[in-house]
């Protein structure tokens, strides 16, 4: 698993562009920026839709006031699903919806979650990161289905 002080891997994401899914490199996302990146098990799932993503949308101004350049939401879903979920949640340009469709990024940081037995395949764990210029400065990983340390309010307290 990635540790505080480590450089984020060069594995990128997919985002929805005007002509469909587009690649977004880790370099383009992280270089020279303060990024809050949070991961959740899946788009349109209960806690993710009712609490996790909405908390970052609601706290957008407070996060920006703490010097955050970009807020990113990553899930092991494709760019079409992440785009549709972002629209359904009315994130606008507040949260960048990052698709990790094959869990390559989640695996590269060692934070994948095996939900094969539950019929959901391999997903990403629920966590939040604070990243500065591509280096991990803070990592909070939830334990066993909890939702606390990865919330927007918790991230704000650590900025």
Per-residue pLDDT of the chain (159 residues; tens, 9 = 90+): 999 999 999 999 999 999 999 999 999 999 999 999 999 998 998 888 999 999 999 999 999 999 999 999 999 999 999 999 999 999 999 999 999 999 999 999 999 988 888 888 888 999 999 999 999 999 999 998 899 999 999 999 999
Whether 5 is covered by a domain: the verdict is no
Question: Based on the number of CB atoms within 10 Å of its own CB, is 84 exposed (0-12), middle (13-18) or buried (19 or more)?
Answer: middle
Whether 152 is covered by a domain: the verdict is yes
What range defines the domain where residue 101 resides? Answer: 13-158
pLDDT at 140: 98
The pTM assigned to this predicted structure is 0.95
Whether 4 is covered by a domain: the verdict is no
Whether 54 is covered by a domain: the verdict is yes
Whether 109 is covered by a domain: the verdict is yes
CATH number at residue 23: 3.40.30.10
pLDDT at 136: 98
Count how many domains the chain has.
1
**Site of tokens 């990592």:** 139
Active site residue 48: yes
Whether 31 is covered by a domain: the verdict is yes
**Site of tokens 């979650």:** 113
Whether 59 is covered by a domain: the verdict is yes
- The beta-strand segments (E) located in the chain are 13-17, 20-24, 34-39, 70-75, 96-99, 112-115, 121-124, 127-132, 135-141
Q: Select which of 26, 37, 43, 48 is catalytic.
A: 48
pLDDT at 119: 81
Whether 127 is covered by a domain: the verdict is yes
């Amino acid at each position: 698993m990635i540790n505080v002080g480590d450089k984020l891997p060069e594995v990128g994401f997919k985002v929805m562009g005007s002509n469909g899914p587009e690649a977004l490199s880790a370099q383009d996302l992280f270089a020279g920026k303060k990024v809050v990146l949070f991961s959740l098990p899946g788009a349109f799932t209960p806690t993710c839709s009712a609490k996790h993503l909405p908390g970052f949308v609601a706290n957008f101004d407070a996060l920006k006031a703490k010097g955050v350049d970009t807020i990113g939401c990553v899930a092991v879903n494709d760019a079409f699903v992440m785009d549709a979920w972002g629209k359904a949640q009315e994130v606008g340009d507040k949260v960048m919806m990052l698709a990790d469709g094959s869990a390559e990024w989640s695996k590269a940081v060692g934070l994948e979650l095996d939900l094969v037995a539950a019929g959901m395949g391999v997903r990403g764990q629920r966590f939040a990161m604070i990243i500065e210029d591509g280096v991990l400065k803070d990592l909070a990983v939830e334990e066993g289905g909890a939702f606390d340390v990865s919330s927007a309010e918790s991230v704000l307290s650590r900025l």
